Each structure stands twice: as structure tokens, then as C-alpha cells.
Amino acid sequence: MSNNEALVREFCDAWKARDVDAILAYFHADAVYHNIPIEPAVGTDAIRAVVEMFVPPADAIEFEVHHIFSDPSGDVVFTERTDRFDMGGKVISLPVAGVFELRDGKIAAWRDYFDLQTFMTQSA
């Protein structure tokens, strides 16, 4: 496993603690986080706003990584995951394909591809 693959796996595990500041520490100040069905968040302030929509209301969060690999440069890491959020007595289980671009040991870009309707149906 490459260093960046290990970093992404560590980042995914960090969500369990539900510590917004610890999660944000993995990002470059100018990072882009894009949940593909919605508009991208640019910069850590915008990323914080997105993360705070999920972390404080959740009783539990788990990103289960099924597969992880990187391109030959090691700077792009792909994940296949199931993200689980226990929110208000409902468990949302979302299949996700994620792409991380890393620079200097931090996340410069994170794109998650998932079906928004799956999320909306489970959270209704």
C-alpha cells in the first residue's frame, strides 16, 4: 500500500470519531470536495460547512473501504466504499466511489460519486 493509500484509509477511519477539526486537518487550505450530485466545496471553510451537515447530527459514522488503489504516481487514490451514517434513528448506507488527489501529504481534491436518490430515500 502506498503512503497516500494509507493516508486515505486513515482519513476514512477518522470519520468514526466525528471530530470535524480532525477531518479538516487532512485537507489543503485550497482543497476541493465535490459530492458529484451537488456543487463542489472549495477551501476548508466551504468543506467544513459540508462536513458539518453530516457529522454533528450523526450518532455514528463509518466509511467501509472495500477496495483502494492508486495510479502509478501514487498521487491519485481510488476507493470503493460503503458510507454509513446513523442519523436520528435511521441508518443510511450509501455505496460510493471516491477519487482523492493528494499533494504534500494532504488532500487537494476529493470527489465522491454516488446516487443522490439512494441517500434521499434512506434519509426520508
Annotated catalytic residues are: 83, 112
CB of 94 closer than 8 Å to CB of 80: no
Q: How many CA atoms lie within 13 A of 77 on its CB side?
A: 28
CB of 7 closer than 8 Å to CB of 25: no
The CA–CA distances, whole Å, from 99 to 71, 91, 92, 110, 111 equal 11, 24, 21, 6, 5
